[in-house]
Homo-oligomer: A and B are copies of this chain.
Amino acid sequence: MKRILVLGAGKSTGVLIEYLLHEAATHDWRVVVADLDVDLARRRVAGHERGETAELDVEDDGPRDRLIAAADVVVSMLPASMHPDVARACIEHRKHFVSASYVSAEIKDLAQVAERHGITMLNEMGVDPGIDHMSAMERLDALRGEGKEITAFETFTGGLIAPECDDNPWRYKFTWNPRNVVLAGQGGVKFKHNGRFKYIPYHKLFSRFEPLSIPGYGDFEGYPNRDSLKYRHHYDLWDVDTIYRGTLRRPGFCKAWDCLVQVGLTDDSYSLEGVDGMTYRDFVNAYLWYDEQMSVELKLRAYLKLDMNSEEFDKLEWLGLFERRPIGLKRATPAQVLQQLLEEKWALKPDDKDMIAMLHKIEYAKDGRRYREQSSMVTLGSDPVRTAMASTVGLPTGIGTKLILTGVIDHPGVLIPTMPDVYRPVLKELRAHGIAFQHTVEELG
Question: A residues touching B (Cβ–Cβ < 8 Å)?
Answer: 187-188, 190, 193-194, 196-204, 208, 229, 262-264, 267, 269-270, 272-274, 282, 285-287, 289-290, 334
Contacts and interface: CB of A to CB of B under 8 A. Distances in A.
A197 B204 CA distance: 26
B334 A193 contact: no
Nearest to A193: B290
Tally of this chain's copies: 2
A198 B287 contact: yes
B269 A199 contact: no
Contacts of A290: 193-194, 196, 198
A341 B333 CA distance: 36
A272 B282 CA distance: 40
A269 B196 contact: no
Given A197-B273, A273-B197, A267 B188 contact: yes
Contact of A273 (B190, B208, B274, B334): B190
A204 B199 CA distance: 19
A201 B264 contact: yes
Contacts of A187: 269
Contacts of A196: 282, 285-286, 290
Contact of A188 (B199, B263, B264, B289): B264
B287 A199 contact: yes
A264 B270 CA distance: 22
Given A196-B282, A196-B285, A203-B262, 6 more contacts: A193-B290, A194-B290, A197-B274, A198-B287, A198-B290, A204-B264
Nearest to A275: B197
A270 B203 contact: no
18 contacts: A188-B264, A188-B267, A193-B289, A196-B285, A196-B290, A197-B273, A198-B286, A198-B289, A198-B290, A199-B264, A199-B270, A199-B334, A201-B203, A201-B263, A201-B287, A203-B203, A204-B264, A229-B273
